[in-house]
């Protein structure tokens, strides 16, 4: 019999048990949990088998949404790319998309002017040939959304009205050429691009725009002709992610990939850009306050854009006391998490910052070292520990009235005898000597006429 426990912050949310069957190699266990908070929720799964005293655990994470994330799709010309993206996003249970058409600077739906409530949207997707003539109020609202952490998915040539937001600047070359895209080494730092890399060469050519990447932008894909022309770029505007796909023909990728793989790739891109990744890098301690002399362990749980645990990190912790650095060290991988033990510290409040230079992520936290020594809390008997020791050693735990009425067993003396036998019949030399002696005796008796 196996028990499985779903935990969060060391507290059991739900537990279930099931019988192991040789006929079923895979067992699916469903948990129905009501979360009080939205955002990334770090969970621990613990599986135990009491009969064999086996326990294994691992970490995962899920995104808890208040409602479906609302995505605004803006276009100034309906294209196959717009239709393909809108169809995939609309079919995703995580998103609730709305399509707006830009005409003479105004946003329209079904031929009527509309005024979106921009604060309700978790992200914006824009399809344009580079003109993108939108009224100043809506344009300022979109920039403010991205500035404050919402994602922008931009398809097309760089628009002058969004140069400050996008990861590229426009050029004077207005024509488009066709070419095959190639992933860069920077793209392979992200799990979703590593997953699709084996199939990338099967993707059909695209009609790309000429543009200049900004210095801080990350080029994820390029067309390699006489020079490297960036076609997929990533950057941040404020705290929001901005991904630009600077070509047409995105919809044709469904012919290079099977339908499911293409939809998964687009959905993973959208989830990454719209949801952000700052909360996928999470550090914590076992508790918020420690006694003087008690060991402190800081743990780090890191997930990629698909919420799978990251295994390649170069994470370093910097511990500060009143803005003075008192400890720095690299974290060590332990199963699905990274951890570091903090040496003994004096009483006070400590803040820590963990940064990973590989994935360019950072997280912070704090904990308190109390004035009280841990020995000051050692009063009386640890009944819980005594009970566990008694259970593990098949002993008895006696307290109070049971102790007074318990009759201790008397000692009984026992005699034990120990014998040691020498197996001479297994010794070849002994048998030879015995036969020789017996034969010599017969010979001598006959010679001396004693027989």
* Residue owning tokens 């990973």: 356
pLDDT of amino acid 61: 58
Take residue 124 and report the two structure tokens written for it.
């914006």
Distance separating alpha carbons of residues 131 and 242, to the nearest angstrom: 18
The stretches of 332-405 forming alpha helices (DSSP H) are 383-392, 401-405
**Among residues of the chain, what percentage have pLDDT more than 70?**
84
Residue that is written with structure tokens 């901005």 in the block: 242
The pLDDT tens digits for 133-161 are: 888 999 999 999 888 888 899 998 988 88
What is the tens place of the pLDDT at every residue in 41-92? Answer: 667 788 887 665 556 666 665 667 666 778 899 998 888 888 889 888 888 8
Query: How far is residue 126's CA from residue 101's CA, in Å, rounded to a whole number?
Result: 10
DSSP state of 309: B
Q: What percent of the chain has pLDDT over 90?
A: 18
Residue, of 30 and 107, whose pLDDT is higher: 107
Could you tell me the pLDDT band of residue 168, with boundaries at 50, 70 and 90? Answer: very high
The length of the chain, given as a count of residues: 451
CB burial class (10 A; 0-12, 13-18, 19+) of residue 199?
A: middle
Q: DSSP 3-state assignment of 1?
A: coil
Q: What are phi and psi of 52, to 5 degrees?
A: -105, 5
Residues 6+ apart with CB under 8 A from 94: 63, 65, 68, 69, 267, 271
Any idea of the CA torsion for 346, 352, 358, 361, to the nearest 10 degrees? 170
Closest Cα to residue 316, out of 279, 363, 277, 280?
363
Candidates 183, 219, 188, 184; CA nearest to 201 is: 183
Residues forming beta bridges with residue 63, ordered by sequence position: 40
Task: Share the mean pLDDT of the chain.
Answer: 82
For residues 364-385, give the mean pLDDT.
Answer: 67
Dist. CA 434–CA 437, nearest whole Å: 5
Confidence class of residue 410 from pLDDT cuts 50, 70 and 90? confident
Tokens representing 420 are: 């040691």
Name the residue among 272, 308, 3, 263 with its Cα closest to residue 123.
272
pTM above 0.75, yes or no: no
Question: Residue 255: its pLDDT value, please?
Answer: 83
pLDDT at 143: 92
Residue 42's closest CA among 282, 203, 249?
A: 282
Quote the Cα angle for 290-363-367, to 5°: 15
Rounded mean pLDDT, 167-177: 88
Is a pLDDT exceeding 70 seen at residue 400? Answer: no
**pLDDT confidence of residue 219:** 93
Pair 142, 169: CB distance under 8 Å: no
Cβ 104 vs Cβ 78: under 8 Å: no
Helices (H), 105-155: 136-147
Query: 383 in helix, strand or coil?
Result: helix
Q: How confident is the model at residue 397 (pLDDT cuts 50, 70, 90)?
A: low
Q: What is the pLDDT of residues 197-225, one digit of tens each?
A: 888 988 889 999 999 999 999 999 999 88
Q: What is the pLDDT of residues 314-371, one digit of tens each?
A: 889 999 987 789 999 998 888 778 889 998 888 888 889 998 887 677 888 888 887 7
Cβ within 8 Å of residue 224, ≥6 positions away: 179, 180, 182
| Per-residue model confidence as pLDDT tens digits over 261-289 | 888 888 888 888 886 555 567 787 877 77
Closest CA to 166 of 149, 145, 146: 146
Q: Which residues neighbour 114 within 8 Å (Cβ) at sequence distance 6 or greater?
A: 100, 107, 108
String of b and e for 99-125 (b: at least 16 CB within 10 Å)?
bbbbeeebbeeeeeeeebebeebbbbb
């Amino acid at each position: 019999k196996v028990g499985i426990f779903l935990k969060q912050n060391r507290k059991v949310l739900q537990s279930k048990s099931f019988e192991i069957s040789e006929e079923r190699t895979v067992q699916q266990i469903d948990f129905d949990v009501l979360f009080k908070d939205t955002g990334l929720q770090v969970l621990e799964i613990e599986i135990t088998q009491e009969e064999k005293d086996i326990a294994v655990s691992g970490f995962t994470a899920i995104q808890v949404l208040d409602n479906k994330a609302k995505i605004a799709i803006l276009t100034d010309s309906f294209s196959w790319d717009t239709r393909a993206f809108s169809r995939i996003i609309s079919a995703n249970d995580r998103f609730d998309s709305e399509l707006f058409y830009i005409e003479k600077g105004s946003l329209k739906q079904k031929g009527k002017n509309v005024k979106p409530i921009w604060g309700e949207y978790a992200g914006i997707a824009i399809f344009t040939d580079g003109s993108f003539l939108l009224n100043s109020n809506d344009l300022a609202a979109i920039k403010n959304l991205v500035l404050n952490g919402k994602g922008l998915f931009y398809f097309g040539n760089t628009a002058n009205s969004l140069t400050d937001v996008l990861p590229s600047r426009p050029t004077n070359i207005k024509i488009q050429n066709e070419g095959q895209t190639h992933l860069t080494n920077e793209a392979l730092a992200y799990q979703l691009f590593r997953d699709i890399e084996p199939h990338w060469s099967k993707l059909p050519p695209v009609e790309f725009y000429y543009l200049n990447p900004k210095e801080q932008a990350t080029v994820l894909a390029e067309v390699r002709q006489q020079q490297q022309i960036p076609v997929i770029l990533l950057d941040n505007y404020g705290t929001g992610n901005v991904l630009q796909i600077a070509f047409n023909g995105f919809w044709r990728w469904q012919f290079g990939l099977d339908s499911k793989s293409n939809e998964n790739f687009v959905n993973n891109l959208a989830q990454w850009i719209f949801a952000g990744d700052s909360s996928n890098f999470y550090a914590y301690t076992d508790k918020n306050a420690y006694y003087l002399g008690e060991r402190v362990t800081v743990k780090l749980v890191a997930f990629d854009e698909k919420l799978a645990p990251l295994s390649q990190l170069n994470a370093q912790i910097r511990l500060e006391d009143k803005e003075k650095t008192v400890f720095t060290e690299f974290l060590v991988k332990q199963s699905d998490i990274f951890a570091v033990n903090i040496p003994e510290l004096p009483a006070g409040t400590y803040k820590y910052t963990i940064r990973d230079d590989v994935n360019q992520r950072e997280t912070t936290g704090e904990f308190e070292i109390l004035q009280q020594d841990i020995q000051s809390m050692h009063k009386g008997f640890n009944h819980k520990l005594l009970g566990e020791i008694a259970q593990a050693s098949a002993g008895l735990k006696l307290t109070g009235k049971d102790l007074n009425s318990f009759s201790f067993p008397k000692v009984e003396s026992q005699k034990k005898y120990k014998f040691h036998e020498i197996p001479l019949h297994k010794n070849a030399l002994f048998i030879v000597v015995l036969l020789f002696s017996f034969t010599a005796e017969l010979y001598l008796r006959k010679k001396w006429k004693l027989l």
